[in-house]
Amino acid sequence: MEKDLVEYIAKSLVDDPTGVEVNMIEGEKSTILELRVAADDIGKVIGKHGRIAKAVRTILSASATKSGKRIVLEILD
């Protein structure tokens, strides 16, 4: 569910939605979501002073409270 949420948000922000790729790595207590976007769109996903990235991480942490797991979003370039 969180993977779909990150993918939806990222595709809404970028100019090249086909370049969005989300990889999910499950752990015992945490889940890591790796987000890759096209090189030209990395700034759109991070935002000024990291505001958009922080907002996406806040949404993820709120979404993860149901499962009791910690979710980490990594934006890869």
pLDDT top residue among 14 and 66: 14
Q: Which of 31, 29, 26, 22 is nearest to 4 (CA)?
A: 22
Split into its structural domains, the chain has a count of 1
pLDDT in tens, 28-66: 888 999 999 999 999 999 999 999 999 999 999 998 887
- Give the pLDDT of residue 14: 95
Determine the pLDDT at residue 73: 94
CATH classification at residue 12: 3.30.300.20
pLDDT confidence of residue 64: 84
In this predicted structure, the answer to whether residue 68 has a pLDDT above a threshold of 90 is no
Q: Which two tokens stand for residue 30?
A: 């945490």
What's the domain range around 44? 2-76
